[in-house]
Amino acid sequence: MSEPVIDLHSDDYFMGEALRQARTAFDAGEVPVGAVIVRDGRIIARAHNQVELLKDATAHAEMLALTQAQEVVGDWRLTDCTLYVTKEPCPMCAGAIVHTRIARVVFGTADPKAGAAGSAMNLLQFPSLNHKCDITGGVREAECKMLLQEFFAAQRLADKQGRTQKTDSGEDVPINGERTGLPPRPG
Task: Report the interface residues with Zn ion, using CB under 5 A.
Answer: 60, 90, 93
Tell me how far, at minimum, the Cβ of 39 lies from Zn ion, in Å: 21
CA angle, 148 as apex, 147 and 149 as ends, to 5°?
A: 90
Tell me how far, at minimum, the Cβ of 163 lies from Zn ion, in Å: 29
Q: Nearer Cβ to Zn ion, position 19 or 93?
A: 93
CA distance 12 to 85: 12
Give CA separation, 56 vs 50, 123, 127, in Å: 8, 23, 31
User: 62, 71, 88, 178: which one is catalytic?
Assistant: 62
CA distance 86 to 89: 9
Q: Nearer Cβ to Zn ion, position 13 or 92?
A: 92
| Residue 151 buriedness (CB in 10 A; 0-12 / 13-18 / 19+) | buried
42 - beta bridge partners? 39
Tell me how far, at minimum, the Cβ of 126 lies from Zn ion, in Å: 16
CA distance 161 to 75: 48
Yes or no: say if 179 and 156 are a contact pair by the CB < 8 Å rule.
yes
Q: Nearer Cβ to Zn ion, position 13 or 126?
A: 126
Q: Nearer Cβ to Zn ion, position 13 or 136?
A: 136
Tell me how far, at minimum, the Cβ of 35 lies from Zn ion, in Å: 9
Catalytic-residue membership of 62? yes
Active site residues: 62
